[in-house]
Structure 1
Amino acid sequence: GDIHGQYYDLLRLFEYGGFPPESNYLFLGDYVDRGKQSLETICLLLAYKIKYPENFFLLRGNHECASINRIYGFYDKCKRRYNIKLWKTFTDCFNCLPIAAIVDEKIFCCHGGLLCDLLWSDPDKDVQGWGENDRGVSFTFGAEVVAKFLHKHDLDLICRAHQVVEDGYEFFAKRQLVTLFSAPNYCGEFDN
């Protein structure tokens, strides 16, 4: 799930789950912005990806887009601590990250949701088909969209992030979709 620059919480995840390459990892995006240590967070994640390319995977989230992280803090952190050239280098790197992965041919993983928007869309139990998203961008999708997608592609589960959920995870659509969120006490506002 989302990490959003919460470096020490990322370290706790590794302490709990095992440090690479002892454990394999697939991260679902949103590594930067909002938290205090975006640079340390993304540098550690990229270092692990370089050192253990077969055990460590990084997907792109909506905050790995220049237009978003320029607003929500990553650009300013790079500029203040180093320079704009560093931010541009990270942007080039983010532009190369994949937006989806399939685990064991049965689990579809992405940051946000389903097409038409893998980085921004959200599930909504009150929506039939597709609906408008309260975020002001993208769409929401209902349980039947999840079921159709899984059936069409012979998959069992959709694993996504992008929304704060209590307990760090939440199921949707008869446990056919799970939302993960890995940043506890997110922005000091949530008791997740």
Structure 2
Amino acid sequence: MIVAEQKAPASSPQDFDKSCLIEENEVNELIDKTTEILLSQPMLLELIPPLNICGDVHGQFLDLLWLFECGQFPPQANYLFLGDYVDRGRYSIEVMCLLMAFKIKYPNRFFMLRGNHECNPVNESYGFKVECMTKFEKKGVAMWNHFGHLFNCLPVAAVVGDKIFCVHGGLSPNLKTLDTIRKVPRPIETPGAGLLCDLVWSDPDKGISGWRFNDARAISYRFGSDVIRQFLDRTDLSLIVRAHELVKKGYDVMGNKQLMTIFSAPNYTGTFNNNAAIVTVNEKMDVAVIILNVKMRHGTSYLFSEHFDVERAETVS
């Protein structure tokens, strides 16, 4: 069984960088089975809490294990990941294999959305293609393309408990109703403009109102608090949870706490010394944030939970 098999680790970090602990045929099997499950589920997921929500991982496999240690491994907890599993970190394939294994084993309790890096024209330039070619050598390009098909089948948004809209990037001027997302066909490439592009690429901006071109990314839009409020009113939702941007403390809020940005790759690329965060939603729809304190990374786990409903903080061990 692919999920249960454990192989001896590489003899050094350098060896681990150049090899994959899972055989090529096993990775292909994971991709095929995961793709089949993804296409059996809708483009807009409708999920029931309790649920943990995680942001960008970016190939940081050991930190992904730390996330699960803090938030509990499946099936003790249900999960929704918001995308950007690959690129920049050195272990994107290992990250994907673990997430796919959980998706296969717990298809109705473990969910993955698409990020802007789950797109071959993007991850060709930011490390994932090179990683595939390094670890699978002559079959690396074929493996990269196989992953590309899987990425084209990922759902792009979710609604949790009928009140929380979850997406990788943000909103779109083309997003009039949630049915607009439901009607997007799959498999589909991420286009350079339009609804799907905006959902994985756009960013909120506290300093503007309305829509502005996203100059920093040279694609999609920035949007203000007024856009957030109008979208939530129009769809009868209460909160947007999104990822896509590094935030130093692991999370940030905007628009009278109507939008939350989370980032789940601690000490991103080994240089930013940032915390990571997990959003938790319980059966009562109470929303909390677990902070993974990067300064305590090699010591006792430190979890800082901010409960937005009662404006208090507590430390747990």
Q: Would you say same fold, with TM above 0.5? A: yes
Residue-by-residue CA offset, 1:94-127 (whole Å, 9 max, x unaligned) = 1000000000010000000001410000000111
TM-score relative to the length of structure 1: 0.98
Query: Aligned-pair distance for 1:188?
Result: 2.1
Amino acid at match of 1:74: F
Moved over 3 A (4+): none
User: Which SS does the other structure have where 1:140 is aligned?
Assistant: strand
The residue that corresponds to 1:144 in the other structure is 226
The residue that corresponds to 1:160 in the other structure is 242
Give ranges in structure 2 of 5+ residues lacking alignment: 1-54, 174-197, 275-317
User: Which SS does the other structure have where 1:2 is aligned?
Assistant: coil
Query: Aligned-pair distance for 1:36?
Result: 1.1
| Aligned residue among 13, 20, 27 for 2:74 | 20
| Aligned residue among 174, 188, 192 for 2:270 | 188
The residue that corresponds to 2:147 in the other structure is 90
User: Which SS does the other structure have where 2:199 is aligned?
Assistant: coil
| Aligned residue among 143, 158, 165 for 1:108 | 165
Distance in 2 (alpha carbons) for counterparts of 1:94 and 1:135: 21
Give ranges in structure 1 of 5+ residues lacking alignment: none
Does 2:124 match 1:124? no
Determine which structure has more spread, i.e. the larger CA radius of gyration: 2
Residue-by-residue CA offset, 1:112-151 (whole Å, 9 max, x unaligned) = 0001410000000111101121111111000000000000
Distance in 2 (alpha carbons) for counterparts of 1:172 and 1:190: 22
User: Which SS does the other structure have where 2:132 is aligned?
Assistant: helix
Distance in 2 (alpha carbons) for counterparts of 1:171 and 1:191: 20
Percent identity, aligned pairs only, is 57
Alignment root-mean-square deviation, CA: 0.7
Number of equivalences: 192
Distance in 1 (alpha carbons) for counterparts of 2:271 and 2:78: 30
Does 2:121 match 1:67? yes
Query: Aligned-pair distance for 1:81?
Result: 1.0
Query: Aligned-pair distance for 1:19?
Result: 0.4
Distance in 2 (alpha carbons) for counterparts of 1:140 and 1:189: 26
Distance in 1 (alpha carbons) for counterparts of 2:79 and 2:248: 22
TM-score relative to the length of structure 2: 0.60
